[in-house]
C-alpha cells in the first residue's frame, strides 16, 4: 500500500506543493475534501491544521510529513542528513513558520495576489 499524503485541497499553494513533491508518485494524494470516514478517523481531531501521511501502521503530521517526504524523495546518500542532530526541530519549526504565515508564503510563492492564486473559492 502506498502511503497517503493528506493535504488542504482548498489551498492551491498546498495542492501545487504536494504535486511537486509527488513527481515520482511515491504517495497517493488525498485532499481534505476527499477523505473517507476511515481515513479521517486515523487523523488527529484538528487534522485541518497541517498535512499528514497515512501509512499502513502510522500517521505522520506537520513537520514529520516534511521528513517523510524528504526520506522518500531524496537520493539515498543524502538521506543520512535526515539523521543529523537538530533536523527534527528544524523541520518542525520550518513547517510551523510556513503554516502560520501561509498567506504571505502563498503570495511570495505564487507571485500573485493571494486571492488570485492560493484559494480556489475566493473572489
Average pLDDT, integer, range 66-77: 86
Rounded Cα distance between 13 and 104, Å, is 11
Quick: pLDDT tens for 72-118.
Answer: 888 887 878 888 899 999 999 999 998 888 777 777 766 554 444 45
Query: 44, 67 in Cβ contact below 8 A?
Result: no
Is the dihedral angle over the CA atoms 77, 82, 85, 86 positive or is it negative?
positive
**Other residues' Cβ atoms within 10 Å of the Cβ of residue 39:** 16
What pLDDT is attached to residue 110? 65
What's CA 58's distance to the chain center, in Å? 16
Amino acid at each position: 500500500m502506498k502511503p497517503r499524503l493528506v493535504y488542504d485541497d482548498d489551498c492551491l499553494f498546498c495542492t501545487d506543493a504536494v504535486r511537486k513533491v509527488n513527481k515520482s508518485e511515491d504517495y497517493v494524494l488525498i485532499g481534505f475534501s476527499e477523505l473517507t470516514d476511515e481515513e479521517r478517523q486515523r487523523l488527529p481531531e484538528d487534522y485541518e491544521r497541517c498535512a499528514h501521511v497515512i501509512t499502513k501502521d502510522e500517521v505522520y503530521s506537520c513537520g514529520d510529513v516534511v521528513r517523510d517526504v524528504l526520506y522518500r524523495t531524496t537520493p539515498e546518500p543524502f538521506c543520512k542528513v535526515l539523521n543529523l542532530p537538530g533536523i527534527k526541530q528544524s523541520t518542525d519549526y520550518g513547517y510551523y513558520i510556513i503554516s502560520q504565515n501561509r498567506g504571505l508564503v502563498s503570495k511570495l510563492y505564487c507571485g500573485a495576489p493571494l486571492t488570485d492564486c492560493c484559494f480556489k473559492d475566493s473572489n
